[in-house]
Structure 1
Amino acid sequence: MNTATLDTAPRAGRGARLSILHVVDALEFGGLERMVADISAAQRSHGHAVAVFSLTGPGELGPVIARAGVEVIDGGKRRGFDLAMLARLRAAITRLDADIVHTHNFVPNYYAALANAAAWPRRPALVNTCHNMGARLAGARLRRLYRLSLLRTAGVAGVGEGVARHLVERGLSPRARTVAVRNGVCMPARICPDRRAAARAALGIDPGALLLGSVGRLVALKNHRLLIGQVARLSREFPTLQLLLVGDGPMRAGLESQAGASGAPVRFTGARDDVEALLPALDAFVLPSHTEGLSIALLEACATGLPSVATHVGGNPEIIDDGVTGILFPDDDGDALAAALRRLLADPALRARMGEAARAWVAANASMPALRADYDAFYARALGRAVECG
């Protein structure tokens, strides 16, 4: 969809440097949270003053963000609607003299809309990023609260064209204030024999094994069940085949049982904070999700130089050029997934060619500097003035 002009009145400027407060639900390991960690560090390096307010506490990523010199503020949220947390958020907005309050997904936006309404002596611009297709907004209460909060929100950014279009078409976000701001990731070093050997040694993976991998929460929407089933099937054709699942979640015990019963050669690492160091161990990345916004895990795999197999859902086709940077397959189609994996596993030259093309695409279109510049432009529209720093 075309970038829209945000419907906000200009505010008095105070120079190019911005005070930005990101507001998130939590800071556990996840794509949204890693993106917030990376963009806050990039914005600080660019010259902005940046802090992150986590409604439920610093979590696992809080210390990582703090090490980058970004303040992390613990909201200490309790169950239900929490007036004390709302007061802490309002105090943070005022103390930081924020120009921009940037919320991520839905609950943070309605809390920030309330806190921002009482901000003093001046009210910052409130902007929101939607990181997925809004499945949680199927609930009437959250949908109503989110829509009310958008009355006080200067702009909504979908993390890709598909997400932005979906928000508008479903009537969840107003067209005039909804834009696409594609996710971005930090570019790691290219895969080389030393990085590959070090990653495999750290994981205890044989140097000659064929290794598939997936990164993400072990939840039903990620559909790891389908992937494990096809790996069990393919392991009879490729005796050295192994699957690495990086992440944790409520489905883990069931997936471990499935792998054991089927004989699928699966390694579960649990949640990790060193994903970038593990990805070079893989031969290919797999994302079998039922739904995605614009997957950070998929972008990171592409940036590493891995070919990917992903479902043709959500923002995945915005990242994967089918047959060029990876292979797309229909949601929940086990035969199509097996065929795509078989094609890559049997052809090292194809894997190398697709991986190099994927890395080049991310460098040109979805790097962290590109995302930082896009958000500066997004903020400028919300503020009604230019933003240039560095």
Structure 2
Amino acid sequence: MQEAPPLVVHLIYRLDFGGLESLLVERINRMCATRYRHAVVCLTDYTAFADKIRRQGVTLHALHKQPGLSPGTHLALWSLLRRLNPTIIHTYNLSAIEYAPVALLAGVPVRINGAHGRDHHDPHGLNARHNLLRRLMLPFYDCYYANSAAMVKWHSDVIGVPSAKSRLLSNGIDTARFRPREHGDAPAPGPFGDGCIVIGSVGRIQQVKDHATLLEAFILLRQQLPEQRARLRLAIVGDGPLLPALRARAAQAGLEREVWLPGSRADVAEILRGFHVFAMASIAEGTPGAALEAMASALPVAATRVGGIPEVIEDGVTGALAPPSDPQALADALARYVAAPGLAAQHGQAGRARVLRHYAMDAMVAAYLGLYDQLCEQKHQTRKPEKTCVE
């Protein structure tokens, strides 16, 4: 009887609509089934987003962690890991980093933590207690990787991650799905008709994404360009805890018809093809998957100069960068594209070309597969494969 491939347990806070989660699902779906099996363990819970996992045999588990220390979650995870018997545990971000000792006690040979960005409580990585936790967990992990060069450098300078344990793993984009609008395409989903200039954003509605600043920038933009005011529209696609407040602010400004806040959508690629400019007002980011999707769709990107965003968006070439939490600066960046459609198209095409060169989906999946292979070989868990396998 053929031995089953090694099992990777992905430990995540919650499986819901989001950039990190989308890329996790893409890797699971695309990684060769004969090389690794997968299970997703959610510290809290998962939503219908889990239906995007198409790979057969992937199991989902929810530990229903309560706020705070929740020592019972550690015991529940230990028991689950003993039952699943994985070869690799792959934890994501600070919210799951503390569970490496549990994995070690459960006998999991390979332990990996990925930094995919920071939250609004600590956008610059200055929280001493959080950084102490990262340092304390470092001996329990075989690899601390990040998805931006800025985060890799921060790992080295602040946390003290040695080069042998460090890795840069860039995000990848499905450039067949995320593509420019073509002749014969159906009208883009949404309430806006022909003749509108649509500024759009996609992302979970939470403080780290700072959609409130984007909405204020849109209000300023309408004042700044009165000749275009009747055509200007704003779409912010995504769900999250701050969505009701954002809708209330749009209503207060009398912009219910001009601002579209539909919540989560499964047709993001089609929606992007109806945008003219993509906007991102984040106060912290790793490698911004939403911006890469927009660039693959040939959209210019007006974004904040934080985290890994400047690594992806070249100011004046593929987009325009502005300081964070500055509505006027973001409005000025957007105004450049609204006033000059030719410049918007030029930067959009340059952005797609950059994604095609540097952020291919297959390259991302192969890089993660290579990391798994390398660490398993170091721990004598598997023989060296003959070739990389990506589906």
TM-score, normalised by the number of residues in structure 2: 0.85
Match of 1:192 in 2: 181
Match of 1:86 in 2: 74
Match of 2:320 in 1: 327
Kindly state the Cα deviation for residue 95 of structure 1 after the two structures are TM-superposed. Answer: 4.3
CA distance in 1, matches of 2:137, 2:128: 14
- Kept after mapping to 2: 8 A contact 1:105/1:129: yes
Q: One-letter code of the match for 2:205? A: L
1:283-294 alignment runs, 5 A limit: 283-294=276-287
Kindly state the Cα deviation for residue 48 of structure 1 after the two structures are TM-superposed. Answer: 2.3
- Aligned in 2, Cα 1:189/1:256: closer, same or farther, shift over 3 Å? closer
Match of 1:177 in 2: 165
Where 1:281 maps in the other structure, the secondary structure is: coil
1:221-260 alignment runs, 5 A limit: 221-235=208-222, 236-238=226-228, 239-260=230-251
Where 1:360 maps in the other structure, the secondary structure is: helix
Match of 1:126 in 2: 111
- Kept after mapping to 2: 8 A contact 1:17/1:389: no
Where 1:183 maps in the other structure, the secondary structure is: coil
Residues 174-196 of structure 1: CA deviation (Å, up to 9, x unaligned): 45422211122222153234676
Residues 193-249 of structure 1: CA deviation (Å, up to 9, x unaligned): 4676432xx312102211010112223332223222232233323121100011233
| Unaligned stretches of 5+ residues in structure 2 | 379-383
- Kept after mapping to 2: 8 A contact 1:22/1:103: yes
- Kept after mapping to 2: 8 A contact 1:65/1:71: no
From 137, 146, 152, give the equivalent of 1:158: 146
Match of 2:357 in 1: 364
Kindly state the Cα deviation for residue 327 of structure 1 after the two structures are TM-superposed. Answer: 1.4
Kindly state the Cα deviation for residue 37 of structure 1 after the two structures are TM-superposed. Answer: 1.2
- Aligned in 2, Cα 1:63/1:172: closer, same or farther, shift over 3 Å? farther
Higher relative contact order by CA 8 Å / sep ≥ 6: 1 or 2?
1
From 7, 12, 21, give the equivalent of 1:33: 21
- Aligned in 2, Cα 1:273/1:89: closer, same or farther, shift over 3 Å? farther
CA distance in 2, matches of 1:85, 1:389: 36
Alignment of 1:262 with 2:249, yes or no, is: no
CA distance in 2, matches of 1:204, 1:220: 26
Kindly state the Cα deviation for residue 69 of structure 1 after the two structures are TM-superposed. Answer: 5.1
CA distance in 1, matches of 2:159, 2:209: 26
Residues 94-118 of structure 1: CA deviation (Å, up to 9, x unaligned): 444422211111232222x133222
Kindly state the Cα deviation for residue 323 of structure 1 after the two structures are TM-superposed. Answer: 1.7
CA distance in 2, matches of 1:172, 1:75: 31
Q: One-letter code of the match for 1:99? A: T
CA distance in 2, matches of 1:357, 1:84: 51
Match of 2:381 in 1: none
CA distance in 2, matches of 1:332, 1:84: 39
Match of 1:3 in 2: none
- Aligned in 2, Cα 1:237/1:253: closer, same or farther, shift over 3 Å? farther
From 99, 105, 110, give the equivalent of 2:87: 99
Question: % of aligned pairs identical?
Answer: 32
CA distance in 1, matches of 2:51, 2:179: 27
- Kept after mapping to 2: 8 A contact 1:107/1:146: no
- Kept after mapping to 1: 8 A contact 2:14/2:42: yes
CA distance in 2, matches of 1:156, 1:115: 17
